Chains A and B, each alone.
Chain A
Amino acid sequence: MLNSPAVDPVIQFALPPELEAHEPPEFRGVRRDQVRLLVLPRNPHLLPLEKGEIEAVTHTRFDSLGEFLRVGDLLVVNSSRTLPGLLHARDERNNPVEVRLAQRRDGAWWDVLLLNGRTHIGRAGMFLDFGDGLMARVDARRSDLPFLWRMQFNHCCLELLDSIYRLGEPVRYSYVREALPMDLYQTVYATVPGSVEMPSAGRPFSWELILKLRRRGINFASLVLHTGLSSTRDDGVDATHPNYEEEYQIPEATATAINRAHRDGGRIIAVGTTVVRALETVARADGSVEAGEGWTRLRITAEHKQRAVEGLITGLHEPQASHLDLLSAFVEPQRLRAAYIEAIERGYLWHEFGDMNLII
């Protein structure tokens, strides 16, 4: 059933359970913009250092981000809003079925994971009742990604979105112990709903910080990439890094801002790996980007030569996460590994509500 063999992880380390962030930093008495920030320079041998450049790993706080940025740098954020993608249903035999929305197709159609605990279930023709008038029929497995089922709801469009919000809860994994309010899964600039997992690299931004950076001449632009699921709930399948397509939109104003920043010597800092994927999908060989929309399956690894993006703000990722492959396109795996060991030693927190990493 697998398409490709398991991929060797870029970094191997065991994440101590106490370094898992179970809840938003606000619950720990920490402002969203005051989580910790590990700054990792992409090229430590670049001398002499320009203003704001650092040689070694630096440990600071997220709201000190501006110290590492220059006037004219452009931060590109993903403004996709997160919707409650985890739904509970009953099949025609009244068995419980957990439905995880993976990708919105058309109108009433979604690709989904069908689970009973961590066991993949599902069959063609399966009928699901979610309660409150929402129902769905399972069509067929996807031939390319056989763990996903195509499913048609009895509602469409705004009516379907309304039902999903009334019945669903945020997609979460075992380290988040209870279903939290949906608004805790939003960045402060989240706009159009469509992601099933929070584009979490942007979560630490507060408007206070954004407005402060803007006043200092550091600009912001946004694009949309609606995220799919980060895990299939099957370790064997996850280890193969299955390659989903994800929907993106890059507005004209953002493409213009990126091209202007590059022309004027500014750096493009992607806020999140989703932004890297979207921008590298549309980047031309000379690093310029054009506005557009579509679906991307781009997978970025150490071999990928970045064209449009010079820096990255991201969270701390698990050893098996494909995100680490992407990070190794920015910084040598050895140095990434050393930085991660420091992060573990210093008690950084992992996952979507955890601490942050700037690679620049």
Chain B
Amino acid sequence: MQHLEGKVALITGASRGLGRALAIEFAHQGAELVLNSRASSARELADTRRVCESLRVRTITVLADVSNRADMERLAAEALSVFGRVDILVNNASALGPTPMPYLTDYPPDDFEAVLRTNVVAPFLLTRTLIGQMLQRGSGSIINVSSDAGVVGYATWGAYGVSKAALDHLTRTWAAELDGTAVRLNSVDPGDMDTAMKRASEPDGDASQWAPPESVTPVFVYLASDESKSVSGQRFAAQEFLKSA
């Protein structure tokens, strides 16, 4: 059974890692797709698109920088122009900041701001731009990709951790404001995954201990689908969801 048939999903940062895995899984589940990445990842994004299209779902790609306000308006406008609506928004694009990751004490201020812009301001802008048409229709699901670093203050995970804590709280506050509307916001901590970002953050880590991003998609499908209709303002850990399911 396809859980997302008839729905339109927009996924940022869909050229690789978790974003790509989500795009392909959502395509398997029947969703039509708007896939985004930066212009520098255009080729990988085109590849994600080819895979999704081979699953016979209508897919468009929009190259846009999530940290750029005008780009976010353009991304939303193109999605709505083609599909007329967006039912599911996954704010997945994320910046780690400089690597190896410096102490906050040593963190370059411009890099700190850039991480917060990509990881907090961008989800705010894109959600703000797309949530109106969800509220009008009376349905919609927004999923923000969080991290354990947003809960625990790990040394050197400074800007990234701060941004993910803020993103979790953005999710909770927004959900509270829209209580009773059937437009839902939740965040997901996918856990340790074997992605390019993870390898950059922990170059000495044991990648064999990390889950492939494809394995954590069930919680995203659940939150995107009507099965989770009454779930909002929650924070999910993907691994725990797998165990409980």
Contact = CB atoms under 8 A, between A and B. Distances in A.
Interface of A: 79, 81, 83, 158, 161-162, 165-166, 181-183, 186-193, 207-208, 210-211, 220, 222
B73 A183 contact: yes
Contacts of B60: 158
Contacts of A190: 132-133
A227 to B, nearest CB: 15
Given A191-B80, A193-B81, A182 B70 contact: yes
Given A182-B73, A186-B73, 9 more contacts: A81-B77, A83-B77, A181-B73, A187-B132, A188-B132, A192-B81, A192-B84, A210-B135, A222-B136
Interface in B55-76: 60, 62, 69-70, 72-74
B2 interface: no
A158 B78 contact: yes
Interface string B98-139: 000000000000000000000000000100010111011000
Contacts of A162: 62, 74, 78
B85 A166 contact: no
B230 interface: no
A211 B77 CA distance: 24
Q: Is the interface of B mostly helix, strand, loop or mixed?
A: helix
A217 B106 CA distance: 55
A302 to B, nearest CB: 33
B132 A191 contact: yes
Size bin of chain B's contact surface: 20 to 34
A79 B70 CA distance: 20
Given A161-B77, A165-B77, A183-B73, A211 B181 contact: yes
B78 A161 contact: yes
Contacts of A192: 80-81, 84
B136 A189 contact: yes
Contacts of B80: 81, 191-193
A225 to B, nearest CB: 16
Contacts of A188: 132
A211 B182 CA distance: 12
Contacts of A187: 132
B69 A183 contact: yes
Contacts of B136: 79, 189, 191, 220, 222
B114 to A, nearest CB: 19
A188 B136 CA distance: 10
Nearest to B125: A183
A161 B125 CA distance: 20
25 contacts: A81-B80, A83-B77, A158-B60, A158-B78, A158-B81, A162-B62, A162-B78, A165-B73, A165-B77, A166-B74, A181-B70, A182-B70, A183-B72, A183-B73, A183-B129, A186-B73, A189-B132, A189-B133, A189-B135, A191-B80, A192-B80, A193-B77, A193-B81, A207-B135, A208-B177
A208 B135 CA distance: 11
A291 to B, nearest CB: 15
B196 interface: no
B78 A191 contact: no
Contacts of B177: 208
Nearest to B77: A193
Contacts of B133: 79, 189-191
A136 B131 CA distance: 35
Contact of B81 (A161, A189, A208, A220): A161
Contacts of A158: 60, 78, 81-82
A220 B181 CA distance: 14
Q: A-B pairs with the 5 shortest C-beta distances?
A: A165-B74, A189-B132, A193-B77, A191-B133, A182-B73
Contacts of B74: 162, 165-166
Contacts of A161: 77-78, 81
Nearest to B74: A165
Nearest to A191: B133
Contacts of B70: 165, 181-183
B65 to A, nearest CB: 12
